[in-house]
Chain A
Amino acid sequence: GENVEQHPSTLSVQEGDSAVIKCTYSDSASNYFPWYKQELGKRPQLIIDIRSNVGEKKDQRIAVTLNKTAKHFSLHITETQPEDSAVYFCAAMFAGGTSYGKLTFGQGTILTVHP
């Protein structure tokens, strides 16, 4: 089955710096890769996603890149702000066979942005 590995588990940056979180997936039949942000005590919420037919997507300070050959994708946050502090999860959705639609998450990254 699909396995998603996420690194690093914790990331500490100064306000204004960039933050990068990386994920790898195991099954080439996965074709949808969302990123979620979970603030303390709240539900995860989608911040950006990318499909396998696209190599990069950007939304203001957030961007995601996908390398299908290497089976990895990354979240890039520029000009970080204290309110970016949260847990970030990557995920991969499987699109093949009997596991169609299976959405598997990485282990999460705790991002702390220091003022």
Chain B
Amino acid sequence: DGGITQSPKYLFRKEGQNVTLSCEQNLNHDAMYWYRQDPGQGLRLIYYSQIVNDFQKGDIAEGYSVSREKKESFPLTVTSAQKNPTAFYLCASSPTGRVGTEAFFGQGTRLTVV
């Protein structure tokens, strides 16, 4: 199903807890991205990675962390420092780090702070 898998689909977190969202792709893509989607605000970039062991902050990186130890995996940790973490999170990957290639999205994870 598109080759990029996010888990879990729904996630509940208590305030003050860290939580990690999984993103795995079997498409052999070099580049991977994390976005946050809130109503009326489009897709806002959290972090992105063009290659293994390297990643860059996006526009709203505060309160989040990532790692890229393997080509196929790009987990996102939502830390307790993120003040308003309830949102829909989308992971994407694209074939190469070369600009101009289609990004494919996972099905998303809906995170709710309770």
Contact = CB atoms under 8 A, between A and B. Distances in A.
Interface of A: 1, 6, 9, 31-32, 34, 42-46, 49, 51, 89, 91, 93-95, 98-108
Interface residues of B, number: 29
A90 B113 CA distance: 30
Interface of B: 2, 31, 33, 35, 40-45, 48, 50, 56, 58-59, 90, 92, 94, 97, 99-108
A98 B50 CA distance: 11
Nearest to B35: A105
Contact of B102 (A1, A42, A46, A101): A46
Contacts of A94: 99
Given A101-B50, A102-B56, A102-B58, A89 B42 contact: yes
Nearest to B6: A43
